[in-house]
A and B are shown apart, each in its own frame.
Chain A
Amino acid sequence: MRRRQEAASFVVRIWLERRRNGDPAWRGHVQHVQSGEDRHFSRLTEMCAFLERMSGVGCNGLWAEKPAEAGLTR
C-alpha cells in the first residue's frame, strides 16, 4: 500500500509591480514543491484555493479557528 504523503511544502512569492502613481499592485506565485505544480495569483483567495486543492486542507476552516487552536501561538 502506498504511504500517504504526510507533509506538503509550498513556496509563495509576492512582488510589487512597479507603479509610479496609484495603489500598489501586488502579484504572486505559489508552487507546490513536491509536484512542481504552480500558479500565479493577484488575490490571496486564489492562492488559498490552490493550497486547498493541493493539500486537501480548507483555508477557511483553518483561519476560522482561534490562533491557539490552529497552532499559531507558542
Chain B
Amino acid sequence: MPRARDYVSLSSDAAFAVSGNLRILAWNRTAERIFGSSADDAVGRRCCDVVSAQMPNGEPLCGPDCHGGICFNTGTPFTIDNCLVQGAGQNAMRVRISSLIVPDAAPADESRTRALVFMHRLDGAHPQQPMPQPLHIRMLGRFSVALNHRPIATETWQRKAAVKLLKMLAMHTGQPVPRERLVEWLWPGVDDKRGRDRLKVAIHSLRQLLGSGNLIEHADKSYALPTAAVLLDVALFERLVSEGIRHARRQCPELAATRLGDALRLYRGDLLEEDAYEDWCAQARMRLRELYFEAAEYLADILMQRHSFDAAGRICDAALSREDCREVFHRLRMQCLLAQGRVEQAERQFRRCREALDRELGVKPLPETCGVADRIRALRAAGPSID
C-alpha cells in the first residue's frame, strides 16, 4: 500500500509532504523545477528553509511558527488562495496553496507524513516579476537581515558604521533621513566635513555589502530605504496591533485575535536588544514595548472571553516576564487560574503580584485585584482546588 508521501509524485502541481515538525519528507518533480531545489536538497529540511512565500501585501507566510504548521498540528487543512512564492532565479510566482491532512499521523512524529502541500500556479503569473520587498529586516529582538530570503551575516561586517546606518535607515523606512541627523547619530560631535566624508564611505560600504546599489535612495541631502524594497518587522507589528485593536473595538474578536496573535509572535524582544544603551532608538524601543503590552492586554481579554484560559495565561506570563509590576496581567492571570479551578496557583499569583508592586512601585494592589483575591480566598475556604 503506498504511503501518503508517495502521492506527491502523482501531482501535476508542485507538491511536497511534511511531518508534524514541518520537515520535508517528499518533494516532487514540479517542485524541483519551480523552486530550483532537487529532492535530495529539500528532503530532510524544514519547509520554511526551502520555500518562501508571502501574501500580496508583503506579509511573510513561511517561518518556524507559520500558520500552516499550526493548522496541520490541529488537523485543519491550510489554504491560501493567492500568494507569492519565490521560485528559482529570484522570480516571484503567484500560486494557490492547498493541503491535505493525513489523519492518522501523530503530529509530533518526525518520520511520518502529517500533510501534503500543493502549490498551483495561477493564471496571469509573471515569471519575470521580481519578488517584492527583497530586503527583510528584523529589529524586534536582535537585528537580522535577509536579502532575497538569504540571510546576511551583518555581525561579520568589518565596517560597523554600515550596520548602524542600515538600522537607522530601516527604522525610518520610507522616510528620507537628513544627512546631518545620520552623522549626529553615528559620530556625535564630529565636525561637518569629516562627518559627511565618513557618511559617504559608510553609504558606499552599505551599498556594496547589500550587493544592490539601488536599495538606498539619495535626494536633497537625505538618504532613505524605499518602502517597496523593505519588509520591516516593526512596521508589520505596528500595523497588526493597530488592526487588531480596531477589530476588538468593533466587536470582531476573531479577527482581532488573529491580528494580535500574529503581532505578539513578531515581538521576539525589545527593539534592537543589542543596542540597549543607544540614544537614537531608545524612545522607539519604549514606545513599541508599550504597544506590545496594549496588544497583549487586548488579546488576553479576548481569549478569556472565549474561555481559552491556557492561551490567555501564556500571554499574561510573557508580559509579566518583561515587566513584573504590570498589575493588569497579574489580575487576568489570577482570573484565568480561578476559572480553571486552580485556586492555589491563583493565590500564589496574587502573592507574586503584591510583592512585585511593593518592590517596584511601593504600592498595594488596586481594589479590582484585591476583589479577585477575595474570591480566591472564599473558594479556598470552601473546599479543595484541582491544583
Which A residues fall within an 8 A CB radius of B? 9, 11, 13, 15, 17-22, 25, 27, 29, 31, 33-36, 39-42, 46
Contact = CB atoms under 8 A, between A and B. Distances in A.
A50 to B, nearest CB: 13
B368 A41 contact: no
A34 B279 contact: yes
Nearest to A3: B189
A9 B279 contact: yes
A34 B323 CA distance: 20
Contacts of B278: 33
Contacts of A33: 277-279, 282
Given A18-B328, A40-B325, A31 B286 contact: yes
A19 B368 contact: yes
Nearest to B286: A11
A33 B360 CA distance: 19
Contacts of B285: 11
Nearest to B281: A33
B283 interface: yes
B282 A11 contact: yes
A33 B289 CA distance: 15
B277 A36 contact: yes
25 contacts: A9-B282, A11-B282, A11-B283, A11-B285, A11-B286, A13-B290, A15-B290, A17-B327, A17-B328, A18-B368, A19-B368, A21-B367, A22-B367, A25-B366, A27-B327, A27-B363, A29-B323, A31-B286, A33-B277, A33-B278, A33-B279, A34-B279, A35-B277, A40-B361, A41-B361
A39 B361 CA distance: 9
B118 interface: no
A41 B323 CA distance: 13
Contacts of A18: 297, 328, 368
A61 B323 CA distance: 32
A58 B328 CA distance: 34
A65 B170 CA distance: 41
A15 B368 CA distance: 17
Contacts of B211: none
B152 interface: no
B361 A42 contact: yes
A35 B278 CA distance: 10
Given A13-B286, A29-B323, A33-B277, 10 more contacts: A9-B282, A11-B282, A18-B328, A19-B368, A20-B368, A21-B367, A25-B366, A29-B286, A33-B278, A35-B277
Interface string B228-266: 000000000000000000000000000000000000000
Nearest to B283: A11
Contacts of A9: 279, 282
Contacts of B368: 18-20
Contacts of B362: 42, 46
Contact of A42 (B279, B323, B363): B363
Contacts of A42: 361-363
